[in-house]
Amino acid sequence: MSSLFEEFSSLLVELNGTFIKTSLEEQFDILFVTYEGKAEDILPFFAKKENQLLIKGTEISFKFVIDGSSSFYDEDFIKTSRYIQNEQDILLTVSVNKKISFPLNNNELLFFDMEAFLSHFKIENDKFISTLKAVDYEKTIHIYLPIDQLFQNHFVKVIPISDFGNYNIQTLENKQLQEILHIKETREELTRVESWFPLPQIFSIETNQKMVNKRLNQNLFFVSLMHIANKYKQNVFTIRGQKNLELTYDETFIPENASILYSIFKFSFGEEQTQDKLEITRNIITIYLHQETISQLDEQLDKMKQTIERHFSMYVQDKIKKFFDDTKDVIDLAHKYALEAREAADKIATNISTSIVALITAVFSGIVIMARGNFLFLVVALVLHILYFILSYSFNRHFAVKKKKDIHYIYDLTSENFSNIAPDEKEEIKKKYVTPAIQSIETNLKKYTWLTVALIVFMLALITGTYFTQDLLTNLNNQTEQNVPMEQEETDKNQEPGGNNLEKQEGDNGKVEKETAPKVDNETQNKTNNKS
């Protein structure tokens, strides 16, 4: 606790017990207290050493008005006190800047007087608004009042003034920080509440002071309604639902059911489906209110709360049913495009088989052509096969890539029509059904690419090898052609009937051969003549 605060508090207690307090004016930062008395009582009071130290060496200001005419400040009064007569009237005003002298954090409020607190702690008060704009809502707020007991929630502490300085401003717990962040983001999107505006949570606290509770409830009601309404301007709340509703707010209005309206606010700004909840809340309020008055709203809040929760429950059930229906449709959609993707992958596999068959055909054709020695025709055939592979691969790859992109695009475009399903759930369905099929296209396409490259390289190697071995193969072929007739002639000789006996007879008995030959000729001639 600040020593100056203790000294000032003790001074006020002593002045209140000694002199007559004529006025008190206290604001969020400044305090003025005025007393009246006779010089014979005031002079001895400030003759005390501890009081003179307060006048001379502190930021507390003292103003003395003698007989309503002469004014003296601080030390000047002590210097002129010898000239003041005991019977003279003195008006003493003590003032202090609480924010500077004690000092006060932006999240701290200090009031010595309860009535001053109640008159300023109103959400419609411009000075209160200025104070709230400087508050850090991610930290606790401390309000020091002349009470005898501590009251608090997760956001605010209402502390006895006697414990000033004993509590440190702390950062809120993570749960409360997330709650504040969610409400701020939601109201920025769905309402016209300004970023500095306080949250209803800081007014949701109950003390043992009846008047304090009334003021807190007024602020709680106003701030909760500010978050639920579509617009607030010049004391008029506008709510748009089944109809447009305008409610004029009266500063003197004391709500009876502020806690219920706060419960409706918490329900509407819950973590899930906030927009839907807020729309249902606005619709129910406009349906129930036939008289556009704040008091009528306050009276109907209990029924409204029950109706809002019931309608939202029914809405959720319908939405769950639609969710499951939409989920089934999305899964069917994913199955459809997964099937198309697998068909595309199968087509690539078929093309791979076709390429292998084409390779086998090319190899056998090459063997036959090489056997005949027609090397130019072999080269032409292999080049045509290479062109076939290239064109076939280019067309099939283009088809596969386009098919893959089309499946992604059409699935994403079509699934957007199912608004009940969250984007992450759609993505999960896509990963489960569509993505594996797409990956099969990519896998087969890689295989097809490597196979096509390998075939082309093989055929180019075959062409190159044939070119460099062409002369050797030609010589071998020519040699083979020369050897074949000789071998054939020798074989014919060996297979001629009576060949060996004829040679023997020709050598040993030439006369027989000569006689036999003419004989045959004569017989042939006779046969010819007979025919003639």
pLDDT in tens, 468-513: 666 555 555 556 555 555 555 555 555 555 444 434 444 444 433 4
Looking at residue 341, its pLDDT comes to 54
Of the pLDDT bands very low, low, confident and very high (cuts 50, 70, 90), residue 163 is: very high
Average pLDDT over residues 455-459: 75
Instruction: Give dist(CA 271, CA 441) in Å, integer.
Output: 42
- Pick 527 or 356 by higher pLDDT: 356
Q: Which residues pair with 64 in a beta bridge?
A: 72, 92
Looking at residue 505, its pLDDT comes to 42
Least confidently predicted of 236-240, 296-300, 365-369, 488-492: 488-492
3-state percent helix, strand, coil for the chain, nearest multiple of 5 = 65, 10, 20
All residues at 6 or more sequence positions from 473 whose CB lies less than 8 Å from its CB, including other chains: 370, 373, 375, 466
Residue 294 pLDDT exceeds 50: yes
Residue 390 pLDDT exceeds 60: yes
Share of the chain above pLDDT 70, in %: 65
Looking at residue 132, its pLDDT comes to 92
Residue 333 pLDDT exceeds 60: no
**H/E segment holding residue 73:** strand 70-73
Q: What is the 3-state secondary structure (H, E, C) of 281-311?
A: HHHHHHHHCCCCCHHHHHHHHHHHHHHHHHH
Least confidently predicted of 213-227, 237-251, 365-379: 365-379
What end-to-end distance do the CA atoms of the chain give, in Å?
163
Looking at residue 64, its pLDDT comes to 95
Measured CA to CA in angstroms, residue 91 lies from 51, 94, 96 at distances of 17, 10, 17
Where do we find the tokens 């002129």?
80
Collect contacts of 389-392 with beta carbons under 8 A, ≥24 apart. 389/355, 389/358, 389/452, 389/455, 389/456, 390/452, 390/456, 392/351, 392/354, 392/355
CB 24 within 8 A of CB 32: yes
Residue 450 pLDDT exceeds 90: no
**Residue 389: count of CB within 10 angstroms of its CB:** 21
Q: Sheet holding 141-145: strands in order across?
A: 108-110, 141-145, 156-160, 151-152
Residue 102 pLDDT exceeds 80: yes
Looking at residue 418, its pLDDT comes to 54
Residue 422 pLDDT exceeds 50: yes
Average pLDDT over residues 255-267: 95
- Pick 399 or 286 by higher pLDDT: 286
Share of the chain above pLDDT 90, in %: 42
All residues at 6 or more sequence positions from 443 whose CB lies less than 8 Å from its CB, including other chains: 345
Where do we find the tokens 């062109």?
387
Would you mind telling me the total number of residues written for the chain in this entry?
532
Instruction: Give dist(CA 528, CA 532) in Å, integer.
Output: 6
Where do we find the tokens 């209990």?
302
Average pLDDT over residues 232-246: 90
**Residue 403: count of CB within 10 angstroms of its CB:** 20
Looking at residue 27, its pLDDT comes to 95
Of the pLDDT bands very low, low, confident and very high (cuts 50, 70, 90), residue 301 is: very high
Looking at residue 241, its pLDDT comes to 87
CB 371 within 8 A of CB 462: no
CB 13 within 8 A of CB 6: no
Residue 344 pLDDT exceeds 60: no
Residue 374 pLDDT exceeds 70: no
Return the CA Rg of the chain.
55
Residue 458 pLDDT exceeds 80: no
Taking all residues of the chain, what is their mean pLDDT, rounded to a whole number?
78
Least confidently predicted of 62-71, 126-135, 244-253, 418-427: 418-427
Looking at residue 520, its pLDDT comes to 44
CB 270 within 8 A of CB 277: yes
All residues at 6 or more sequence positions from 436 whose CB lies less than 8 Å from its CB, including other chains: 338
- Pick 335 or 438 by higher pLDDT: 438
Of the pLDDT bands very low, low, confident and very high (cuts 50, 70, 90), residue 356 is: low
Looking at residue 143, its pLDDT comes to 96
Over residues 19-72, the pLDDT tens digits come to 999 999 999 999 999 999 999 999 999 988 888 888 887 889 999 999 988 899
Backbone angles phi, psi at 326, to 5 degrees: -65, -35
Cα–Cα nearest to 397, from 335, 454, 352: 352
Looking at residue 120, its pLDDT comes to 95
Residue 212 pLDDT exceeds 90: yes
